[in-house]
Structure formats: structure tokens, C-alpha cells
Chain A
Amino acid sequence: MAGRSTRSINGSDGSRTAPARAAALADLLHYECSTLLELFRKKENFTEDVADRRMVSVPPPSSQLDTRDKLWRIHSALLQCQKLLEKAVAKEEEELGGGKKGEYENKRKLVKERLPLLILSTGELLKAAEGTTSLTPSVEGLELNVPTNLFDLKLWVYRVYKEVNYWSKTATNTLKDLPSVIVKERARTTRARNRRSTRR
């Protein structure tokens, strides 16, 4: 972990492509979210882990998905994660907050601020892949029913963190596979659009 603390999205390669930058950002977010999870476990003395249960609703992964669909899937999941995270942070602060701010609170703030940057990056990539402004993924139906008792609230917050962690990792892997493809597809899309224009 210590070795990863020096992670930065500013690589030595100044000519990094947008997907690579987004992948680096996702990787950094994943690292910080992992740290946040660890801090939360330590803070709450959670000796046992909680089984993953997806809170975000997106189409299942498939090899049939093209780049645009993959991007859309990631983008949609991250948007839902953002909603969940904002809710979790607000609710946690309201019900369980107080006292002096420490490392956990700082890390939580960092993750909360960094997630929108990744969403922005994936949104740009999605826009580039489709050639037009993509449809904004819906967050309706998202599980935002916050538990009433505080222990369940803690579990819910923990699951939200795990969800962000999972999707940031998924985003990293997905984005790392994109660069060569996205340029190609963008070119194809542009050609198709030109053809349509010519016919008109």
C-alpha cells in the first residue's frame, strides 16, 4: 500500500491519450477507495467482511458489448456510485458525525471529490465514442433507501464504499482496453456521418 501512495495521474508520458488518463484516474480512485474501506473497517472494528451485493444497476458485462456500450456501462455505474456516495456521506455525517475530523474523513472527502472527475472523463470518452452527446444514464431505481437503525446505516455506507471501489476497479480495467479501439471507432463513426451527409 505504501508503495502505491505515490500514485499520480500525471505520468511521465505527456502525450497520454484520454482513455489512458481516465484509466489512471480510475486506478487512483480505486486505490483511494480501497484505503477508505480499510479506514472504515478499522474505525468500526469490522472484524468480518461483508459479502458483496451490487447496489448499482447496469447491464451485465458481455463480450458482445462494443466500446461505446462498455463506456456507457461504466459511466452509468459511476454516476450511480456518485449518487450513493453523496447520500452515504451526508447521512453518515448527520447520524454518526461529530467529533474531530481525522484521516478517515479526509479520505472520504477525497474520494467524494475525485469520483466526479472520473465521471467527467468517462463522459468525455463516451461522447467521443458516439460522436454526439450521449444519453445521460438514468439513476432511477437506485437503492437510496437509507436504513433507519444506525448499524444498518453503517453497513449500508460500507457497501456504498465497496461499490465505488468495485466500479473504479472495473473502470480501470475497461479503460485500459480502450485506447486503440476508441480512435478507430471514432474514425469509423466520422466516416459514417460523412457518408450520411453526402447522401443528403
Chain B
Amino acid sequence: MAHLSLTPTLKLISSGFVWLLWIVLWFSTSHTHADTGLTVPQQVTLSPNWGTQELSISWLGGGATTFDLIILRTEFNETVFYETVSPTVNKVSGLHQWTWTSVNPLECTSLSVKIRSRAGQYTSEWSQTETLQGHDHPNSEQRVKAFPQDKVLPVGANITFCCIMDERMFFDKIVYDGNATIVTRLSRRTYSTTVSNLVASRPSGSNMLCLPEDKGKLYGAVVFVGYPPLPTDFKCETYDLRSAVCQWGKGRDTHLYGIQRGTRYFVNNRDCTEVNQDVGQKELNCTLDTWEGNWTLVAKNLLGQYSLTDTAELSHRVCPVAPVQLRVVADAWNASLSWHWKYDSYSSLALDCQVEVTATEDEKLIKRVFSGVGLRSVFLSDLYPDERYSVKVRCGVQQNFWKWGKWSELFSFKTKTYVPDTPDAWIWLNTDNTGTVVWKPLTRRQSHGKLTQYEVFLWSPEENRALAPTVTLPPNTWSMPVNLTEIAFFSNNSSIVANVTARNDAGSSSPARVHLTSVEPLAASRIVYTDQGFPLFWENNANATCGYVVEWLDAFCSQGCPVEWIKLPAGTTNVSLESDTFQPGVRYNLSLYSCSSDSRELLKRWQGYAQELVPSVALTLSASQQNADILLTWNEIPLVNRRGFLLGYNIYNSTGYQFDLLANLPDPETMSYTAKDFTKGTYKFTVKAYTAAGENTGTTATVTIEPYADWLILEILTSLGLVTLLLAIVTFTCYKKRKWVKKAFYPDIPEPKLPSDWPRTQGPLDVKPSPHSMVCVVETPEYDCIKEMLVAIPEEDEDDEGQGIGDESVDTDEPMSLRYYNQMVDERPIRPRFPDSSASSLSSMGSAHTDVTYTGIQTSGSSLVLQLDPQGSTECYQPQLDQSVSYGGGGYRPQMQPRAPSDDMGLPSPESFLEPQAACSGGYKPQGSWHLDSPVDAAEMGSLAPSLGSPTSVASTQFLLPDGEENRGEKRQHSSSAASWLTNLLSSTKP
């Protein structure tokens, strides 16, 4: 505590003030620290652990339980760590200690550490800075360095590398396992990178490469990434009943190899690493000299360790070793097998031993288990003579069975030969009492050794003597022909038995007996094959003392047939007969024989197919006509070609690509069919035979039905009758309706009339033409064109061309007014008017000859009939008035109907006026081109029905043109003649 004394002098006062100030300051400072008790930490010490990258920081004093700790990278003065920590305190020495783990290797760059005490909000001064010098310090070795080196890390961990470059080098990049990484600069020369979530490395480790810009220089570090060991299935057992052999599985791959990093194994603290160095070894083991009962396996590497334990009594873990020195003493049907044990202690061990015997020929495996104390030999029975076998043995303990021991080595041996089995013999008799004694070849298993021969001898049981010397046959012969007729001669007709024996080195077999008796054939019944074969049933036969024989062979085989048979025991009443030799489409005869001591008897016969097929050949078909019927006949399909039971025939009529079933004939015996009621034509018929498998391809016959004479005559007469009747009806109808016909097709032609006051003076004459006809008045060519004539001039549109005019003349209901000019020069007086209009028209023209053409009539334009009135007064043509003229080179003449009662006045058409040159050329002809050019015109003209009855209605609707087209006119002459004939006919019928 401070103590103050006051002196009343100035000097004293001034010096006292200074002191006071100092004391106050000291007091205030002392008071602050004295209150919190915080002091600056002293003796800060840094202890790096380079391998673990841990920095242990210790200090003394501070008077606090918490401290602020700051760690900086010295060179760049970057804060790496700044936290308030609670260090551990050594109560004896008072040393505070706290450990910091660096992300970067501690060698990477220098680190500075400062500490201050903290009590709540109060803190002490920072301690002196302590620096951990990094390898990038200028005083450090001047070479490139990379850290950390040879680190071992678990899979999934992160690692931070750093590279310290040389003063004269420039950094380029850091590559990890071939990939460039993101780099952080820690100091002037140090660069770092962090690789996260590491994957397992290869055996030689993953490389981090520090690459300076100066190519060709390579620096770096290796890191090994893997797993801690994880062994499995740790078990101990004994082979010699004394020591223990412990085994375990390696488990997952640690990816760490070599002496330094590989897994080390310890069983009960015994190092078992050396014996398990093989990399490919999956099962590891370790032998302990004594049975300890409890075992602990410890597997460890740099990343960790794993332990497994096992506990067992010795008697529960006995695994016998493999038997050795196998030996076999073989007989024909059995063998004795013996072996030795490696350990004498097995002599008192109760064992179960598995013996596997494999026949070399068919590799059939026989497994047998034998038991016994100290078992070392077994007896193998049920072997085959003359057979090669291989055998192996393994054993396990009977009590507290643990596992089977290892198999012994294979040992091969061969059994001895033995007499052959009795051959299976039978006889096949032909119809001529000859036959063949046949027997089935003995298999190797039945031969019991190599066969040397077969022997056959005939024996009479009644006389108990041989009927002939024994026949010896080579071992590859399995039949012998016999003649029952000859044999019966020697046997005095007593029963005969053929004895067949086989012989090998061990002796002869017992004989197979076959009774050589012929049998009466029986009718065969059909049998259907099933999935299990031919189902054969029969009643038990008391005489069948030695059973039955079922024999089968091809039904259509006659000589030397390959007969097959099976023998069935007595009492059997059914069998499903199946054989690999059954062929589809082959009919088999199956026969059941009873067997007795003195004979054989045929009991039953069947016929059947293992599989029916369609017939293999087509029919021979012929067809013939019988009037309107067709008779089809065909031949029978040979039995051998039927390949099934024939069920019938199908008759088809083939029309093009289609087959129409005409008939189904379910009776296979039917060989003909009549197809009825066919008319003239060609027909194809196909006949197909069918079995249960279906139809065959069929045979087609073509028939052409010819009409016969009666039909021809009848047809002709019928046709003639019909024609006659038709003509009669037409004639009668025409006669009855002649008025209508006349009116419809040939109406009367109206006569032109001249009024009585025909003007003498020149001037126009207006005429209103008939609505149904147009009359063109032209001058005949025979007259001089310069003479006066009547020229029709349309009142309107005189300049219109022919088409317009034509239209107008046809379509206009009102008759067009025509104007005529009387230009007659001839001063002769006008003749008196004839009552007939036509005559008056002629006379009205005086000396002038005027042709009148009617137009606008809808009739065929191909013909023109002009009939001149015989009473006409035309001066120019008087000699021709009686002719019906068809003009060729001379042109046309106007038609004259002197007695036509029509009131219509025919007037010249405007066209005749418009073509005066044509009119002067000396004749007229139809203007075919005029009215055919336009379909409209034609239609319009067609619509002019009222024009029927016009004088030119049967001739033409065309204008008469001068004869420039004589040929056309000539062609029309014939039709004109026909029209003339019809006109005359109708005229004659006029009342």
C-alpha cells in the first residue's frame, strides 16, 4: 500500500507532485491487475509434432483459466487461429498446455504464437511472440520441398499439401494424381493445396507433384490412402490332435502394401505376418504348437487395427488329414480299399469316411460312407466286372463332427472279368417257315469281359438231345437263319428249342432258350400311340409260365426284317411300348406272345403308327364327262405310302386360286365320285386323301364340258323363234301406230303459198317466217346470177355472221320478219297461182328458179331427201320433176310437197342471202360444218322440237351449200335412199 507525507515547501510540493503522480499511476495500474489477478503468460514454448501436424503450446503464469491464443503466419502476418482456449494445467509445475492441430503441415511456413490471460472482459497484455520456424525460412535449406511426405490416410479423408519453392524458381502448379489443384499461397515461397475425400490409392501411392515453371524438374510427395484391416472368419482347428491351426479371411483390400504399410497379423500375440505375405492369398493361417482353447487375432496397419476371437475344445475342432497310400484289391463284383493315416493318434479316433467310386466308362459316381475307429480299410461291393474305377476318400470325426477332411489322391483300379449275362434271344419267322434266331448284342456291362463268341445249338426237349452241332458265331454276329421245315424233319416233329450262349475269357453264359414253333396269324386291331407309347392291354394267360414277349416290326417288311422285342414277366397284363426306333409314318405290327416251357403262342396283334403322317404320294386321278356330269375316278394309294390310316378323300373344285370343297368321302374304299350338273366350260377337280395327320397334296384333273348336238339345235331354233316373234311384234305395232309414226317421224311438208297481190314493182317484201321453219330462197345455179331474184334480208343485223344468224333463227319464238326484194328483170307475167302452196311458190317467181331450203329442223343432217313435185311448173327443171334426186355434182334441188296442207310459208334463210357466191356456184349441199361447230347450236337446234314436220325434217337441218363437197353428198346418198324408202312407205300408208 502507498503511504503519503505532505511537506509545506514548494520544492517539496513540486517533487511531491511528481511522486504523487507516479504513485497514482502505479496505484491505478496495480489496482487493476491486483483486482483481476491476471498476469502476462511467461515462458511460452512451442513443441511441434511434424507427423501429426500438431503444435503443442505451453506457458507459465497468467493467473487465469482461459487464455486468448493467436497464431499467425509469420511472413504474411495472416491470422490462422485466434480463440479463447482453456488449457490443461500441470498442478505441480503450473505449466499450461494447449495443442493446436494445423491444417497445413507445420513445415510449410513459419508460425507466430502469442498468448494473453483472460478473465471475463479483462485481459492481460500479450505475451512475447514465439515463432515456429518453417522450412521456407531463408536460413532453411535452399531446395524445393514438399510436405507432408509419405503420409498414410484413410479413404475419405482430406489432406493439405504444400510446396516450398527455391528462391530462384517460379511456381507453376500443383498436380495431384494427374489433376491440377487449386492453390493457396502461404508465404513468399510456399504454396498449398487441399485434396478432399481421398480415394484409395494404388500400391505405390498417389503422387502430389510440385511443378515449377522450369520444366524438367519434378518435386512432390507421396500419400497412401486405404482402409484399416477387416479380417473375417477366424477359426482354429487341429489336424494332428495336438497343435492348432488358425485360419481367417483377409477381408476387404486395405490398399496398403509392403512392410511399412501392409497389415500385420498376430494370433495370441504371435506374429503371423511372415507366413501371410502372398498378395493373392485370400485365406490366411497361423499354426500354434499347442491347443490353447482361446485365440485372439489382431490385424493392424497404420490406419487402425481389428480383433477377432475364437474359443473351442480340441475334440470339437478335429479336421482329419487326407488319407494317404491308398491300395485296392479288386474282384469281379467288389473290391477292398485300404489306406494309411499320417498321424498315429488317428488309430483311436472314431471316424466317418466318404468313399467316392467313379466308373471310368460312364463316369457314374458311387458315394458311400463307412464308419469305424481309426478306419483305414473298406469293402466296396456292387461293382461291375471288367470295369475301371477311380476312388478317393475323406474322413471326419464321428463325435463332435467339425468338417470333412481333405480328399485323398485319386486311386484307379480295375475289376476282374466274369461270365457274360444270358443273351436276350428271339425268333422271327417268315411265311415260308424259314426264320432267323436273333439276339440282342450284349453291352459291355453285360459282357463282363471281352466276348469271344456266340454259340447256338438246337435242342429237342422232348428227346433231350441236340438236333445239330453247335454253331459258333463271332461276337459281332447277333442272328442265325433257321429253316423250320428241315429242322422238323430231324426232330420227328417234336418241339425244338434254340439255345443261345455268349462266351468270354471267364466262360459261357447260361443259354437263352427260344422255341422254334410257327404260330397262326391273328387279325390285327388298330392301336393309337400316346405320349407313353403304344398302350397294350391283354388278359392274363395261365399258360404264360415264363412271361410274355411283345414283338414289333415294320408292317410292310417281308424278308429279313429288323424285329424288336421285349420280354415281360408272367402276370403282366399291360405295357406301354416305347422305343427309340419308332419312326413316324411307319406302320408297326405288334404281337404279344406267351412264353411257356415248351412253346410260344401268339395271343394278340395290333397295328399302329407311332406318328401318322399325310400320304406321301398323290392319287392317280382321271375325269370324264357324262352329259352334264363329271365322273372322277382314282386309284388306291399303296399301303407303304399311306403313312397313316387312310380316313377318306376330299374332293375340291378349284377355281383360280380357291379350292371349294365339293364333297368329303369318309370311306377310304371309295374310288370314284360323280360331280353333277355342270354346264359348258372347263373345270378343275382335286382329290386329296387324308389321314389323322391331314391331307396330302392331292391330284388335280381338268375337264372341259362340250355342248352336245341336241343343245345346239335347240338353241338355234329358240333364237330364230325369238327373232321372228320380235319382228312380228314390231311390224304389228308400227302398223297399229302408223299415224303416230307418220306424225312423229315423217310429218307432211307444208306448201309454200304466194299471196295474190304479189307486187310487180320493185320493193322490199316483208315476210314473217314461220316459227318452225326458215325458208331460204336462193337462185339455182343454172340461172344467171345477175338475173333478178328474191333475196331474203334480215330486218336486223344484216352484218351478222352465220352463227349469230343461226342462233337467232333457231331461238327466236317469234318468226323473224324477212324483207324480200323483187329484183326480177324478167318482165314475163306472173303465172296464176296454184292452189298448192309449193306450186304457187314456184310460179310466183315466174321465170326465176327459186330453191327453198327449210332450216331449223332437228333431224339428222347426214341425209337429205328432196322430192320434187311432179306437177311443179319449174321451167328449168321440168324433165326432172318426177325424180327424187340426190345431187352429186349438180347440187340439190328444193323439196317440193305439192300437196302439203301446211299453212306455214317457207322463206329463204338469211344465210342464203349472205352467201350469194355459194348460191351461184351451181348447187347446194348441207352445211355440215355450220351446225356442228357449236355444241350450243346443236343443242339449241335439238330443242326446236316443233320444227318436226318441216318438209326437210327427214333430210337435214343444214343449209344447202354449193357442191364443193361432192364426196360427202355421195356418201349421204345411201341414207337418203333409205329415208326415201321410209317416206314412200309412210306415204303409201297415208289414207
A residues apposed to B, CB below 8 Å: 43-51, 92, 94-100, 149-151, 154-155
Knowing that A98-B256, A99-B202 touch, tell me 4 more A-B residue pairs with CB under 8 angstroms.
A45-B175, A48-B218, A51-B217, A151-B150
Find the residue from A46, A94, A100 having the highest chain B CB count within 10 A: A46
Given contacts A96-B205, A99-B203, A154-B222, contact A48 B216 (CB under 8 A): yes
What are some 16 contacts across the A-B interface (CB < 8 A)? A45-B178, A46-B207, A46-B218, A48-B216, A48-B218, A50-B218, A51-B216, A94-B259, A96-B205, A97-B258, A98-B256, A99-B257, A150-B205, A151-B207, A154-B207, A155-B218
Which residues of chain B come closer than 8 Å to A50, judged between CB atoms?
216-218
B215 at the interface (CB under 8 A from A): yes
Q: Which of A48, A92, A95, A100 contacts B211 (CB 8 A)?
A: A48
Query: Is A98's CB under 8 angstroms from B205's CB?
Result: no
Q: Which of A46, A95, A99 contacts B209 (CB 8 A)?
A: A46
Query: Is A44's CB under 8 angstroms from B207's CB?
Result: yes
Query: Is A95's CB under 8 angstroms from B149's CB?
Result: no
Q: Mark B139-150, 1 if CB is under 8 A from A, else 0.
A: 000000010011
Given contacts A95-B260, A99-B279, A100-B280, contact A44 B204 (CB under 8 A): yes
B706 at the interface (CB under 8 A from A): no
A140 to B567, CA, bound (A): 97
A44 to B279, CA, bound (A): 21
Query: Is A94's CB under 8 angstroms from B258's CB?
Result: yes
Which residues of chain A come closer than 8 Å to B155, judged between CB atoms?
none
Query: Is B217's CB under 8 angstroms from A45's CB?
Result: no
Which residues of chain A come closer than 8 Å to B209, judged between CB atoms?
45-48
B220 at the interface (CB under 8 A from A): yes
Q: Which of A44, A49, A92, A100 contacts B216 (CB 8 A)?
A: A49
Which residues of chain B come closer than 8 Å to A92, judged between CB atoms?
204
B262 at the interface (CB under 8 A from A): yes
The 4 closest A-B pairs by CB, nearest first: A98-B257, A51-B216, A99-B203, A45-B178
Which residues of chain A come closer than 8 Å to B217, judged between CB atoms?
50-51
A2 to B260, CA, bound (A): 38
Query: Is B203's CB under 8 angstroms from A97's CB?
Result: yes
Which residues of chain A come closer than 8 Å to B259, judged between CB atoms?
94
B177 at the interface (CB under 8 A from A): yes
B residues apposed to A, CB below 8 Å: 146, 149-150, 175, 177-178, 202-205, 207, 209, 211, 215-222, 256-260, 262, 279-280
A97 to B175, CA, bound (A): 23
Query: Is A98's CB under 8 angstroms from B207's CB?
Result: no
Which residues of chain A come closer than 8 Å to B257, judged between CB atoms?
97-99
Which residues of chain B come closer than 8 Å to A150, judged between CB atoms?
149-150, 205, 222
Question: Smallest CB–CB gap between A192 and chain B, Å?
Answer: 48
A100 to B262, CA, bound (A): 14
Query: Is B221's CB under 8 angstroms from A48's CB?
Result: no
Query: Is A43's CB under 8 angstroms from B222's CB?
Result: no
Which residues of chain B come closer than 8 Å to A99, judged between CB atoms?
202-203, 257, 279
Residue of A nearest to B176 (CB): A45
Q: Which of B150, B204, B219, B279 contacts A43 (CB 8 A)?
A: B204
Which residues of chain B come closer than 8 Å to A96, judged between CB atoms?
203-205, 258
A50 to B212, CA, bound (A): 12
Which residues of chain B come closer than 8 Å to A49, judged between CB atoms?
215-216, 218
Query: Is B149's CB under 8 angstroms from A98's CB?
Result: no
Which residues of chain B come closer than 8 Å to A100, judged between CB atoms?
279-280
Which residues of chain A come closer than 8 Å to B175, judged between CB atoms?
45, 47
A14 to B471, CA, bound (A): 73
Residue of A nearest to B218 (CB): A50
Which residues of chain B come closer than 8 Å to A51, judged between CB atoms?
216-217
Q: Tell me the dominant secondary structure on chain A's binding face.
A: loop
Which residues of chain B come closer than 8 Å to A97, judged between CB atoms?
203-204, 257-258
Residue of A nearest to B219 (CB): A151
A76 to B988, CA, bound (A): 153
A191 to B394, CA, bound (A): 78
Which residues of chain A come closer than 8 Å to B218, judged between CB atoms?
46, 48-50, 155
Query: Is A45's CB under 8 angstroms from B207's CB?
Result: yes
Query: Is B215's CB under 8 angstroms from A48's CB?
Result: yes
Q: Which of B150, B216, B279 contacts A98 (CB 8 A)?
A: B279
A97 to B259, CA, bound (A): 9
Query: Is A149's CB under 8 angstroms from B149's CB?
Result: yes
A43 to B220, CA, bound (A): 15
Residue of A nearest to B172 (CB): A48
A46 to B216, CA, bound (A): 11
Which residues of chain B come closer than 8 Å to A151, judged between CB atoms?
146, 149-150, 207, 219-222
Residue of B nearest to A158 (CB): B218
Question: Smallest CB–CB gap between A93 and chain B, Å?
Answer: 9
Which residues of chain A come closer than 8 Å to B211, judged between CB atoms?
47-48
Which residues of chain B come closer than 8 Å to A155, judged between CB atoms?
218
A48 to B215, CA, bound (A): 7
A49 to B214, CA, bound (A): 11
Which residues of chain A come closer than 8 Å to B205, judged between CB atoms?
96, 150
A50 to B209, CA, bound (A): 12
Which residues of chain A come closer than 8 Å to B178, judged between CB atoms?
45, 47
Q: Which of A44, A46, A47, A149 contacts B150 (CB 8 A)?
A: A149
Which residues of chain B come closer than 8 Å to A43, judged between CB atoms?
202, 204
A111 to B221, CA, bound (A): 27
Which residues of chain A come closer than 8 Å to B221, judged between CB atoms?
149, 151
Find the residue from B175, B204, B219 having the highest chain A CB count within 10 A: B204
Question: Smallest CB–CB gap between B7 and chain A, Å?
Answer: 78
A99 to B209, CA, bound (A): 23
Which residues of chain A come closer than 8 Å to B219, judged between CB atoms?
151
Question: Smallest CB–CB gap between A95 and chain B, Å?
Answer: 6
Residue of B nearest to A52 (CB): B216
Which residues of chain A come closer than 8 Å to B260, judged between CB atoms?
95
A99 to B205, CA, bound (A): 11
A96 to B391, CA, bound (A): 48
Query: Is B203's CB under 8 angstroms from A45's CB?
Result: no
A97 to B211, CA, bound (A): 26
A108 to B221, CA, bound (A): 23
Which residues of chain B come closer than 8 Å to A45, judged between CB atoms?
175, 177-178, 207, 209
Given contacts A149-B149, A151-B221, A154-B207, contact A98 B215 (CB under 8 A): no
Find the residue from A43, A48, A49, A51 having the highest chain B CB count within 10 A: A48
Residue of B nearest to A40 (CB): B204
A44 to B221, CA, bound (A): 12
Question: Smallest CB–CB gap between B153 and chain A, Å?
Answer: 14
A49 to B218, CA, bound (A): 8
A151 to B175, CA, bound (A): 14
Which residues of chain B come closer than 8 Å to A154, judged between CB atoms?
204, 207, 222
Which residues of chain A come closer than 8 Å to B280, judged between CB atoms?
100
Query: Is B215's CB under 8 angstroms from A95's CB?
Result: no
Question: Smallest CB–CB gap between A189 and chain B, Å?
Answer: 44
Which residues of chain A come closer than 8 Å to B215, judged between CB atoms?
48-49
Residue of A nearest to B260 (CB): A95
Residue of A nearest to B149 (CB): A149
Question: Smallest CB–CB gap between A121 and chain B, Å?
Answer: 33
Which residues of chain A come closer than 8 Å to B258, judged between CB atoms?
94-98
Question: Smallest CB–CB gap between B379 and chain A, Å?
Answer: 49
A96 to B207, CA, bound (A): 12
Residue of B nearest to A150 (CB): B222
Which residues of chain B come closer than 8 Å to A48, judged between CB atoms?
209, 211, 215-216, 218
Which residues of chain A come closer than 8 Å to B204, judged between CB atoms?
43-44, 92, 96-97, 154
A49 to B175, CA, bound (A): 14
A48 to B280, CA, bound (A): 33
Residue of A nearest to B180 (CB): A47
Residue of A nearest to B277 (CB): A98
A97 to B205, CA, bound (A): 10
A98 to B217, CA, bound (A): 28
Question: Smallest CB–CB gap between A158 and chain B, Å?
Answer: 8
Residue of A nearest to B224 (CB): A150
Which residues of chain B come closer than 8 Å to A44, judged between CB atoms?
204, 207
A108 to B178, CA, bound (A): 23
Question: Smallest CB–CB gap between B282 and chain A, Å?
Answer: 13
Which residues of chain A come closer than 8 Å to B256, judged between CB atoms?
98
Which residues of chain B come closer than 8 Å to A95, judged between CB atoms?
258, 260
